[in-house]
Amino acid sequence: MLSYRHGYHAGNSADVLKHFILLYILDYVKKKNKNFIYIDSHAGAGKYFISDAYMQKNKEYLEGINKIIRIKNNDFFLKNYLDLVKSINFNTELKIYPGSCYLAAKSLRIEDKLHLLELHSTEFSNLKKNFEGDLRVVIENEDSYKKLKKLLPPKEKRAVILIDPSYELKDEYEKASKMLLDCYKKFPLGVYIVWYPVLNNKKSESFILNILKENYKNLSHIEMITDNSSNGMQGSGLFIINSPWSIEKDIKESLKIIFDCLKKSKDLSKLLFKNNIN
């Protein structure tokens, strides 16, 4: 896991889906006039430059943000995400792609807090530089599998928690599902967003079953397969615990727009959206 650098994948279709959902959730939580904390289990560097060798090696952003940012679209929730990416680039050419925590920081209010965990030493160093001077942010060079549950429950009593490991190690699916359950038991009121990749090795299938067998409250499951013929990542998915009651009404059309833009073929792609909102 310590060899993983998100710059290789920044701005890809999985990032588009994850970040769209993240901003939707943050905006929903902000509707209450009470402060909260955003916690990121694997924060990465915070932001990524299109010109960097990492992003240019695979150029995955060309099949993700580079596509979706060019479409004509009046969808409120999708426009909110894309407008924030554009504003970070000063509404000019796309030169920077913001990671989850950077988007969150731009979205959150002055009274809200962020707690970011990153184990990779170089990513951690870049993360600190990218948030220098932001007094809302605490950054720790820690293993989230050991640290995350220690942060819960937060003193703010309200939290959005993003769990998005790289899943490069074969036991990480099991570790991530266990970490989620441990955190939920300590803080069942948190809004949890759990990201996972869909690969051709089917490892995500047991992960999905592990999540579904637990009694998580107000669970939404979104999965987007953009190309199931790929030998690598075919798509990605998200679970949201304590999901907004209005999520389906709010973003069903948004997801369809994203899917139609990013899918590589009609026959080899699919969009799944299931809710169990009580």
Please report the sign of the dihedral spanned by the C-alpha atoms of residue 26, residue 28, residue 33, residue 37: negative
Give CA–CA dist 11/7, Å, rounded.
Answer: 9
Can you list the alpha helix ranges (DSSP code H) found in 62-171? Answer: 65-68, 76-88, 100-107, 121-130, 144-147
The question of whether 134 is a catalytic residue gets the answer no
Residue 244, preceding peptide bond in cis (omega within 30° of 0): no
All residues at 6 or more sequence positions from 209 whose CB lies less than 8 Å from its CB, including other chains: none
- Beta carbons of 261 and 81 less than 8 angstroms apart: no
- Round to whole Å and give the CA distance between 249 and 14: 22
Dump the DSSP string for 62-83: GGTHHHHTTS----HHHHHHHH
Residues in the chain, total: 278
CA distance 123 to 2: 10
- Token couple for 166: 């790289």
- Maximum distance among all alpha carbons in the chain? 49
Residue of 199, 265, 254 lying closest to 222 (CA atoms): 254
Of residues 15, 40, 112, 164, which has the active-site annotation?
164
DSSP state of 232: S
Residues forming the active site: 164
